[in-house]
Every structure is written in structure tokens, then in C-alpha cells.
Amino acid sequence: MKEIELLPPLSLRFVGDGDFLAIGEAFGKMFVEQGGLKPHERVLDIGCGVGRMAIPLTNYLISPGQYAGFDIVKEGIDWCQQNITPRFANFEFQFLDVYNGHYNPAGKLAANSVRFPYESDRFDFVFLTSVFTHMLADGIERYLCEVQRVLNRAAGVS
């Protein structure tokens, strides 16, 4: 995979230390080689931030493959919607107004009652990176239930 000439400003990279593009590239390679991700599959990125995982996938996913990402940090979603989606129509990003004391202290939804904004069985491949480390147990349990709901059962999960 090769990253596109796209890099969010440093002020929006709230995703941890290290080389933003190299880390995304390494995860993308792992999704393909170890996770079995195929170019035509539908992918959900929970906690997509400013597109660190999305950017490398823009050069991998092909129609009918799709990418959907959501995050609780509106500025990150705004950047992705303005800079990635216009260039890659099969990539969509949504803001979910979930409360988090650090990342979204004004959030209106509780993590333990969230319903992901997608229909059941929509995705072939679902992943999260550095999300559960910022959540309490009841929110994690709810997110796992939602992953099970949106993950296509034909994708190999029972």
C-alpha cells in the first residue's frame, strides 16, 4: 500500500506519538496480511480520528469496497470529510457525539447506550485502534455488541 499525498495538520493529530503515515501503513499491511482484508470489502473504523488508518486504505479498497469511519472528535471528522471523502467517494466519515471526559466532554450520548449509525450486517471487516483504552467497561461491552450487530455474519464471525 502507498499513502496518498495527504497529511492532517499536527494540531489535529491526537492519536499518539510516532510517524503518522508509517503507523497507518503498518496497520494497513497487518489488516491485509494477518486480518485477510480484501480490496472489495466493506470496512468500519471505530474511532477513526483524522484518518491515520483510512489514508493507506484509499490506495487499497476498490469498488465495491467501502470505508466508513466514525469518531467522537468533531474536528477530526470535519478534516476527513473535507480532505479524504472528496477524493475518494467510497470513504465516509461520521461524528458520533459520545461523551468522553478527555476527547468530548460536552458529548450528549453515553458510550454504554450508543447505537452505531449503520444497518446490521453491513461490514465485512471492523477494527478499532486505541479506543477501548479510553473507555469504561460498560461502554466497551456496548461497543462489542454493536460490532457484532454491524459485522456481516457471512464474513466468518458467528
- pLDDT, tens only, 67-91: 999 999 999 999 999 999 999 999 9
Residue 125 maps to a domain: yes
Q: Is the pLDDT of residue 15 over 90?
A: no
User: Minimum mean pLDDT among 18-22, 23-27, 99-103, 108-112: which range?
Assistant: 18-22
Residue 158 maps to a domain: no
Q: How confident is the model at residue 157 (pLDDT cuts 50, 70, 90)?
A: very low
pLDDT in tens, 57-68: 999 999 999 999
Residue 4 maps to a domain: no
The reported pLDDT for the residue numbered 38 is 97
Residues written for the chain: 158
Q: In which domain, by residue range, is 70 found?
A: 19-153
Tell me the HSE value of 49 on the side-chain side, using a 13 A CA sphere. 23
Residue of 68, 57, 70, 41 lying closest to 131 (CA atoms): 70
- Higher-confidence residue: 54 or 154? 54
Residue of 143, 149, 157, 95 lying closest to 122 (CA atoms): 149
The structural domain count of the chain equals 1
Residue 52 maps to a domain: yes
Residue of 2, 63, 3, 42 lying closest to 125 (CA atoms): 42
How much of the chain, in percent, has pLDDT values that exceed 70?
Answer: 87
- CATH number, position 111: 3.40.50.150
The reported pLDDT for the residue numbered 45 is 97
The reported pLDDT for the residue numbered 158 is 38
The reported pLDDT for the residue numbered 20 is 77
The reported pLDDT for the residue numbered 106 is 97
Residue 11 maps to a domain: no
Residue 124 maps to a domain: yes
The reported pLDDT for the residue numbered 95 is 98
Residue 145 maps to a domain: yes
Residue 89 maps to a domain: yes
Contact 57, 3 (CB under 8 A): no
